[in-house]
Amino acid sequence: MTFISRPSIKTYVESPLPSGRLFGTTKEAGSPDMPVRRRVQVVSAGGNAHGHVFPVVASFSTWTWADEAGNWEVRYLDPALKYHVIAYDHTGQYDPVIKMNLTPTVD
């Protein structure tokens, strides 16, 4: 009996990146509101139990920083999913601000 060893062939299908994006501005409330640089986290909302901000199962999460004008953007999100966005005040003066169940826009 003869065994022939063959290398396994792996096929990779190239798929386009998702086209959704979330964007916004971070501001300090006042009169007028002042744009501020803050750290922003985007978390997928899939698999959440009711009343829980963070998913019970492993999910997508990424971070970005708003620029000096307060603008931030996260690209390549699945537009079929919902996401939570959390802005953190690294100075420790304010609590985080959370926006839940956001749907990415598709340009």
Q: What secondary structure, in 3-state letters, does 61-77 show?
A: EEEEECCCCCEEEEEEE
Q: Which domains does the chain have, with CATH numbers?
A: 20-106 (2.60.40)
Q: Is the peptide bond before 32 cis (omega within 30 degrees of 0)?
A: yes
- Which of 4-8, 24-28, 61-65, 69-73 is predicted with the least confidence, judged by mean pLDDT? 4-8
pLDDT at 15: 64
Unique residue bearing structure tokens 């963070």: 54
**pTM of the shown model:** 0.74
More confident: 47 or 1: 47
Nearest to 21 by CA among 100, 92, 77, 94: 77
Inform me whether the pLDDT recorded for 39 exceeds 50: yes
Q: What is the band of 13 on the pLDDT scale with cuts at 50, 70, 90?
A: low
Cβ neighbors of 21 (< 8 A, separation 6 or more) are 73, 74, 75, 76, 77, 104, 105, 106, 107
What percent of the chain stands above pLDDT 90?
A: 63
Confidence grade of residue 56 (pLDDT, cut at 50, 70, 90): low
